[in-house]
Structures are given as structure tokens and as C-alpha cells.
Amino acid sequence: MTNVHGESIDLPTPDGTADAYLAHPDDGAPHPGVLLYMDAFGLRPALEEMARRLAGQGYTVLVPNVLYRAGRAPVVELPEHINPAERPQLFEKIMPLIRSFTPELAMRDVGAYLDWLAASPLVADGPVGTTGYCMGGVLAVRTAAAYPDRIAAAGSFHASNLATDAEDSPHRALDRVTAELYFGHADNDHSMPPEQIAALERALDATGVRYRSELYEGAQHGYTQTDTAMYNAEAAERHWRALLDLFGRTL
């Protein structure tokens, strides 16, 4: 692991200013860029720690507060440890924000995030990688489809509703993807049941996208997030191995 520098920054977007966290090796040299997408609980110390861990492997990692329109992070007040008993009250506050954050808004913002990475002297030339968790796993897939010339790899972990009947379901855009994709599904996840995983894999096979789709047995939705009751250390470490393998091959 190299020494890492982390800092909070502000990014201009078409609709305002997004607060974000940036982590990178502190050698001042350019490194491959990675866009790391938050889960529903948002930009917070646990995600900053993930960004620093990834940066320690030689990447410049940007973690935007994608819900910046609702305010700076933390957008909702969070307990130090998020457990299922507190989740209903949290989701009462979070879900309206997520519902108002449409795919159109999301992808408009991504253009600004990618432009910022491309302009930064800390980011090496060439396409970037993306990884996302929960709602961020959906954003990672949508980003790979919306910006195929700029995304070389996308990791999606315990993402929800990747293959639904909705017209804008993420799996319907896979024909635009040129990146290599990795999916780490939680097997105890009612928001991504076996039939949806099968539908996603059929769509991936039909488009010829390079991908791996794996089931993390015994893992719950949210298994990567250290500050939640859903955290599963074994599954989280497996996710790190898969993600670093993906980025090592593609970036």
C-alpha cells in the first residue's frame, strides 16, 4: 500500500455544485481514475475509507455526493452504526430523495464528474473505472452504458433492480456497454432475486459484453458497508479481490 491523501472537494455540475471526496496516492503522479458511487446512506466516513483503500492500490478515486441537490453530505443524519431497526426511519427520509434522482439527472451529473477526472493532473490519460454499491451499483452500470468511450470497467455490488419490467431498467442499455463488467450479488437480497439475476445474465449474454456475475452466498444486501449491520467481512474482502482484479486487467 502506498501513502494516500484524502480531501473533500466541490465539483461544478450543470445543476449546481456537488460535494465529493477525493483520494489518491500522495506521490503527485497521475494514476488511473475511478468513480466510486455511494449507496443510499451516502457519502460518509465508511465510504471515504473505501476510497482511501482503493487509492492505496494506485488509483485516483472520486466519490461524489450524488444527492447534492438535497444538500451537502450527510444529506440525512446517520447513526454511527446503521442497523435494521433504524432503517425504516432512515429510508422514510432517503427514499423521496432517491426517487427524485432520475436516471437523466444522474447521467447529466456523470458527464461533469468524468470531465473533472479527465482534467485533473492526478488522473492518468485514458478511460476510467467505476464501482458502486446498492443504488451506486445501478449507477455504475448506467454510466458504462451512457459513456462507453470513457468507461473501461464497472463493478456493481449488491445492486437492486438491475433487470425489471421498467422501460428504463439498466439491463435494457447493456447493448451500449464496451466496458468489462463485474456483478457481486448478495444471495439474501429481495431487491435482486434469482429471477432478476437470471434475466440480467440473459441480457448480458445476448449483447456479448465481457462480464462476470457471481453470487455471494450468506451475504445480505449491503454486505460491503462496514458501518452497517449488513456488513459481512468475508464477502467484503471477496469484493475487494474481484474489484482489484477487474481494475488490474482493464485500467
Residues recognised as catalytic: 134, 189, 221
With DSSP H G I counted as helix, E B as strand and the rest as coil, what are the percentages for the chain, rounded to 5?
Answer: 40, 25, 35
Cell numbers at residue 181, please? 463488467
Strand pairing report for 4-13 and 60-64: unpaired
Cell of 212: 462476470
Three-class SS string for 20-71?
A: EEEEEECCCCCECEEEEECCCCCCCHHHHHHHHHHHCCCCEEEEECCCHHHC
